[in-house]
Amino acid sequence: MSQLISLRERKRTETWVALHAAAAELTLAHGPENVPVEEIAARANVSQRTFFNYFSTKEDAILGLQEPFIDEVWLDGFSVDHDLLEQTSRLLMAVVHSTEGGEPSASRRIEVVRNYPHLRQRRFSYFLRVEQLVKDAVAERIAESPRWQSAAGRHSADETARMVVLVAGAPMRYAFQESINEPTIDNQYLALEGATALLREVLEEIR
């Protein structure tokens, strides 16, 4: 049974990547307005019905986006009582990567957005969903922490978590910009370490 599930997952990943590749390549060749869903599906050798099993909109296929999620493994050892800034930044980055499905490289996605900047709005809507997921996870842990219940004072766990996520998002965005010429996952996490250290120094100076 597990082998069958593995084969199904591999097939699903292959189909997802084929649809995204077809959508992105056709868009780069003809522009997003001139690429119908049926042409994307045909190039990926699937039906239009199958296309909508993988992507809710043509724009999602072009950008290679899927609903974000948090793997429980990412929360192993996550504690709001130490290094919350770094932990939250790393969790944000992991959840952003979860929106990118089976596509290991961001270079094609960056090229599409660079050529058609209006598509950034669709990508931004996914970032908002990422922030919401991470905020909820952090808020749940802050609500259970005696230290934070004392430190936060009159602010709710939800309000505190929202601020933590917004601050932690700064080094993540900085890291994505720093690694844009070589946007591999390893480079992004490496850039994140430097960006987090820089933010700590800046906060120390301006507070």
pLDDT at 193: 95
b vs e for 131-144, b when ≥16 Cβ sit within 10 Å of the residue's Cβ? bebbbebbbebbbe
pLDDT at 128: 96
pTM listed for this prediction: 0.88
pLDDT at 63: 94
pLDDT at 183: 85
Q: At a CB cut-off of 8 Å and minimum separation 6, what does 68 contact? A: 95, 96, 98, 99, 126, 129, 130, 133
Domains of the chain: 2-63 (1.10.10.60), 72-206 (no CATH)
pLDDT at 106: 73
pLDDT at 7: 82
pLDDT at 8: 83
Residues of the chain with pLDDT under 70: 1-5, 102-105, 152-153
Cα 19 to Cα 23: distance, rounded to the nearest angstrom? 6
pLDDT at 146: 87
